[in-house]
Amino acid sequence: MKDREILNPKTSNDELVADMLDAFEDVEKNGGSSCSGNLSHECVQDTVNMVGDVYEGWDDYTLIGGIPLQLKVLRETGETSGVLMREFGSRTTNDIDILTNDAQRYQSEFRDSEYSEKGHLNLDFVNPSSLPGLNAYAEEMIENSETVHVEGLNIDAEVRVPTDTDLFYTKIHDDYSRQSTGTRHDAEYMATSNVLDIDSERLAELTSGNEDAQDYLQEYLQF
Domain spans in the chain, listed from the N-terminal domain onward: 1-162, 163-223
Q: How many CB atoms lie within 10 A of CB 56?
A: 11
Average pLDDT, the chain: 86
Of 131, 121, 104, nearest to 70 (Cα)? 121
- The β-bridge partners of 151 are 156
Instruction: Examine the pLDDT at 60 and tell me if it is beyond 50.
Output: yes
- Tens-place pLDDT, residues 109-136: 999 999 988 889 999 999 988 887 788 8
Residue bearing the bigger pLDDT, 15 or 87: 87
Region 157-175: mean pLDDT is 97
Instruction: Examine the pLDDT at 182 and tell me if it is beyond 70.
Output: yes
pLDDT of residue 33: 57
Residue bearing the bigger pLDDT, 94 or 19: 94
Instruction: Examine the pLDDT at 197 and tell me if it is beyond 50.
Output: yes
Instruction: Examine the pLDDT at 204 and tell me if it is beyond 80.
Output: yes
Instruction: Examine the pLDDT at 155 and tell me if it is beyond 50.
Output: yes
Region 68-90: mean pLDDT is 94
- Tens-place pLDDT, residues 7-54: 444 444 545 434 443 433 333 332 335 899 999 999 999 999 999 999
Here the contacts of 137-143 (C-beta below 8 Å, separation 24 or greater) are: 137/166, 137/169, 137/206, 138/99, 138/101, 139/101, 140/166, 141/62, 141/64, 141/99, 141/166, 141/170, 142/60, 142/61, 142/62, 142/99, 142/100, 142/101
Burial environment of residue 30 by CB neighbours within 10 A (0 to 12, 13 to 18, 19 or more): middle
Instruction: Examine the pLDDT at 3 and tell me if it is beyond 50.
Output: no
- For 159: left if phi > 0, alpha if psi spans -120 to 50, otherwise beta; the answer is beta
Kindly give, in sequence order, each residue whose CB lies less than 8 Å from that of residue 74, ignoring residues fewer than 6 positions away. 39, 84, 150, 152, 153, 155
